[in-house]
């Protein structure tokens, strides 16, 4: 599976969603000016990245099942 380029793209997309989520949670936990200024934007980016990751996961499953 590690030789499959689509799997690698899916894994990168999922890790990107995780990084954005952790940044948002970290900003929320810290609070202050950073959270007030960037919290909504970071979570909006997470939703966009999560949408792309889900589409890629579905494409991976579709193409690997012989779709």
Percentage with pLDDT > 90 across the chain: 76
Q: Is 19 helix (H, G, I), strand (E, B) or coil?
A: helix
What is the mean pLDDT of the segment spanning 22-26? Answer: 93
Q: Where are the domains of the chain?
A: 5-66
pLDDT at 1 over 80: no
**pTM for the complete prediction?**
0.85
> Distance from first CA to last CA of the chain, Å, rounded?
18
């Amino acid at each position: 599976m590690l030789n499959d380029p689509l799997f690698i793209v899916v894994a990168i997309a999922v890790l990107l969603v995780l990084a954005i989520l952790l940044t948002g949670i970290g900003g929320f936990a810290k609070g202050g000016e950073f959270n007030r200024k960037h919290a909504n934007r970071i979570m909006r980016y997470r939703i966009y990245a999560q949408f792309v990751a889900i589409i890629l996961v579905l494409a991976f499953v579709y193409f690997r099942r012989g779709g």
